[in-house]
Structure 1
């Protein structure tokens, strides 16, 4: 994802220009007019149209992709897009939150009338729409946690109406805190020991979205499933808004493995780990320090988070002069003409979640999120590296370093535009991504 793709922010001295009151052009084009009601007969008023803003368009694709496993309706997504102002986070939050409320109320009404399957499906869509609203809601806005908790509530309501899936709310210890997790036993497992998949998402993924993207596919293939999250991640922020990311995600790995291996039904020889987005770093770090992981899927394998982020923005904020740094306290005093609202909220999120008071400090902290060559050589289990051809040179270069350095047997898949899967985490074709990753895992385990 490219949360800071803002040419204005690349201009040296743009803060001074803003302070002097100089007018800088807006990045976002004018909002689109609402769709007029048709005057004649036609197929329908909803149009297949995205956003001029690249990040918002990616988020729309992310939502559309979730339709494959029940997390969205294509028609509703495009209807929402017609009402959202291009590049304006507040508009996105309001529309997706309103849709989620409507869908949740519909689910509740169907449940009261005894329609459990219909209620389940509507709860899942509401869950994912609350998540979409949570994504663009400011990380310090009280609504951020409230939207996330509503997403969780709707997910659990859907799971209650899916009796073949035993969804267990779990928690992983982290210091004096308990971090949220979900555990599922494979429906057809019975009493025999079985293969287990741990999945960890990244910067802005959630446990519920991870279930929709890959968890459901894993359960269909007979895997026990553990979804985990760590400090700084979206689910954790719902309870611990001040808990920042840490590089040492092997702490989460140890807790997850201790939890799984204490459970009846876990085959310790067949425990795999999958990391998605930033989770590609988390999972790689976890596998480098936890030999109980017997297979690794990195989507994509991030070995240097600082270089990865620098490649997005085209500059390294860690090297800014102090006079050009942007502090957390400054953000709300910078006019939209200098930093548009979307970029401002992304910058705020990075500072808060890295536990730093300025943008420069946040990028300096990112330097700690690296997997050394020595760590990579510690990965001796079979590994699968996934990356999209549309993600750019840096993700592919880091993938190459991973392939050339890990000690164990390693496989690789490059997703393409022809497959509709060239984007980050293959949001446009989740079923094909699941086929590639799960089929490889079946063969390895």
Structure 2
């Protein structure tokens, strides 16, 4: 069943911004108008409809800013960023479409313009990383731009933008008094699109350097730094926490102990043995060709694996992709997570299947919260009821870390929660 867009493949992407409506990132009427413009069209029509709306809002934002209506300008710039970010999801992947690069750059520019306005402007930053730097935004909690407070570092997954992460998580966190740091790591956003840097499974290598930078910021309480990841970030964040022990807490939405196991299950479902799935080098070429035929015949699988998965992992064939995914596991390292951990599981999200194992591995360091279809939150990352997720996660963080002036709290263990 589709919600707004005729094509189910396009609807999956087109309704993302509904999650941001409670935080000013979209309006149902605008999305309905975009869907009407797409009609029975394809990814090209989708791109045009979203970028047309984004361009109109960006023009309105510039006019409002020139007239001195800065609140309106901020809202319009930020909403334009959302629609630019949404426009290219169906064309994500290699070969890289020039339209994707254009829309990515436009969303980054509109996000920067919007965050620069307001009482607590968010500042673009560069985070030293190996021999280069990662782009990010340090967004102070409203009214607390010069005050030392707890910080949440948000980490993305495969294909979402910093704009998505801002509206999905940071706006709600800021309202609770948390400063927020949003960034693109390897395989994400600018680092992938402009620098062709693939993702890496050892996210502790990334997070240690990001935490180094964050802890040095004058407005950050270095004893109350939280790491939160959504989508594939539900693996990346806990992997980062396994190697970075300065963190006060970690959130995995959804908790993923072994990403590679998901792909091996898919491979066995397509006819290869469990041994072959665990050792892709042993899969015969003919079997790989049959698997590729199944994948490319399914628009969602083709997009997820061939278009997106190959690009993000820096590979160009299924065998190497399967081998790359096997490296995304917490086995042998996950138990090194020493801080309180919130693990989520949405009822209809197949990526949540590891949540129980995650909690079993960590024991009383982990708190599991489930979200259900009856709540309207049973989908991946609770995208159609993101506000429910935010309330639950932030309640847990308030109890675990605290959002007072220094982030101090009488306890470092979170309560049992119900979504």
TM-score (norm 1): 0.80
1:436 Cα offset (Å): 0.2
Tell me if 1:365 matches 2:324. Answer: yes
1:352 aligns with 2:308: no
Shift in alpha-carbon separation, 1:320–1:85, aligned structure 2, 3 A: farther
Per-residue CA deviations over 1:19-68 (Å, capped at 9, x if unaligned) read xxxxxxxxxx9xxxxxxxxxxxxxxxxxx953464443222331212111
- CA RMSD of superposed structures (Å): 2.7
Conserved? CA contact 2:256–2:352, under 8 Å: no
Structure with greater Cα Rg: 1
Structure 2 residue aligned with 1:168: 123
- Quick one: structure 1 residues 67 and 146, their matched pair in 2 at CA, closer, same or farther if it must change by over 3 Å? same
Q: Which residue in the other structure is 1:377 paired with? A: 335
Distance in 1 (CA, whole Å) between partners of 2:397 and 2:360 is: 20
**1:186 equivalent among 141, 160, 165:** 141
Q: CA deviation at 1:107?
A: 1.5
Q: Deviations over 1:141-198 (max 9, x none)?
A: 1221221110011111111222x22312112233322111111223344765321111
CA distance in structure 2 between the aligned counterparts of 1:82 and 1:228, rounded to whole angstroms: 33
Shift of 1:69: 0.9
The answer to whether the Cα contact below 8 Å between 1:206 and 1:234 also exists between their aligned partners in 2 is yes
| 1:324-369 deviation line (CA, Å, top 9, x unaligned) | 5469xxx9xx9xx964766544412211221112123212211111
What secondary structure, in the 3-state scheme, does the structure 1 residue paired with 2:374 have?
coil
Is the 1:145–1:237 contact (alpha carbons within 8 Å) kept by the matching residues of 2?
A: no
Q: How far is 1:376 from its partner? A: 2.0
The 1:190/1:400 distance shift into structure 2, 3 A limit, reads same
- Residue 436 (structure 1) aligns with: 392
Q: Deviations over 1:377-409 (max 9, x none)?
A: 2112111111211113xx343101110011552
TM-score normalised to the size of structure 2?
Answer: 0.85
**Whole-Å separation in 2 of the counterparts to 1:86 and 1:350:** 27
For residues 173 and 323 of structure 1, do their structure 2 counterparts lie closer, same or farther at Cα, with a shift above 3 Å needed? farther
Residue 346 of structure 2 is aligned to residue 388 of structure 1: yes
Give me the whole-angstrom Cα distance separating, in 2, the residues matched to 1:432 and 1:388.
12
Which of 54, 57, 63 is the matching residue for 1:100? 54
Could you say if the C-alpha distance between residues 49 and 375 of structure 1 is closer, same or farther in structure 2, counting changes exceeding 3 Å? Answer: closer
1:416 equivalent in structure 2: 372
Quote the offset at 1:119 in angstroms.
1.8
State the partner residue of 1:237.
192
Query: For the structure 1 residues 286 and 85, does the alpha-carbon distance in structure 2 shift closer, same or farther, using more than 3 Å as the test?
Result: same
Residue 415 of structure 2: aligned partner: none
Contact 1:50 1:60 (C-alpha < 8 Å) held by counterparts: yes
Give distance in 2, aligned partners of 1:152 and 1:338.
31
CA distance in 2, matches of 1:285, 1:86: 42
Residue 64 (structure 1) aligned with residue 18 (structure 2): yes
Q: Secondary structure at the match of 2:252?
A: strand
In the other structure, the counterpart of 1:42 is: none
Whether the 8 Å CA contact 2:162–2:184 is kept in 1: the answer is: yes
Contact 1:62–1:427, Cα closer than 8 Å, also in 2: yes
Secondary structure of residue in 1 paired with 2:348 = coil
- Give the Cα–Cα distance (whole angstroms) in 2 for the partners of residues 430 and 173 of structure 1: 32
Q: C-alpha separation between the residues in 1 aligned to 2:360 and 2:298?
A: 40
Aligned counterparts of 1:137 and 1:175: Cα–Cα separation in 2: 30
Question: Structure 2: 5+ residue runs without aligned partners?
Answer: 402-419
Task: Please say if residues 230 and 253 of structure 2, whose CA atoms lie closer than 8 Å, have aligned partners that are also in contact.
Answer: yes
Q: Tell me how far apart the structure 1 counterparts of residues 266 and 8 of structure 2 sit (CA, whole Å).
A: 12
| Change beyond 3 A, Cα 1:170–1:59 | same
Q: Hey, what does 1:406 align to over in structure 2?
A: 362
Higher deviation after alignment, 188-197 or 318-327: 318-327
SS at 1:166 equivalent: coil
CA distance in structure 1 between the partners assigned to 2:111 and 2:222 by the alignment: 29
Query: 1:88 offset after TM fit, Å?
Result: 2.7
Contact 2:120/2:143 (CA < 8 Å) preserved in 1? no
Q: Distance in 2 between matches of 1:96 and 1:306?
A: 34
Q: Residues 138 and 216 from structure 1, CA distance in 2 versus in 1: closer, same or farther, beyond 3 angstroms?
A: closer
Between 1:312-321 and 1:248-257, the stretch displaced more is 312-321
Matched, 1:288 2:242: yes
Structure 1 stretch 300-309 or stretch 128-137: which is displaced more? 300-309
The answer to whether residue 254 in structure 2 is matched with residue 254 in structure 1 is no
Aligned 8 A contact 1:197 1:272 in 2: yes
Structure 1: distance between partners of 2:77 and 2:289: 40
Query: What pairs with 1:290-329 in structure 2 (closer than 5 Å)?
Result: 290-309=244-263, 314-315=269-270, 318=280, 321-325=284-288
Q: 1:89 to 1:127 in 2, by over 3 A?
A: same
Aligned counterparts of 1:278 and 1:361: Cα–Cα separation in 2: 19
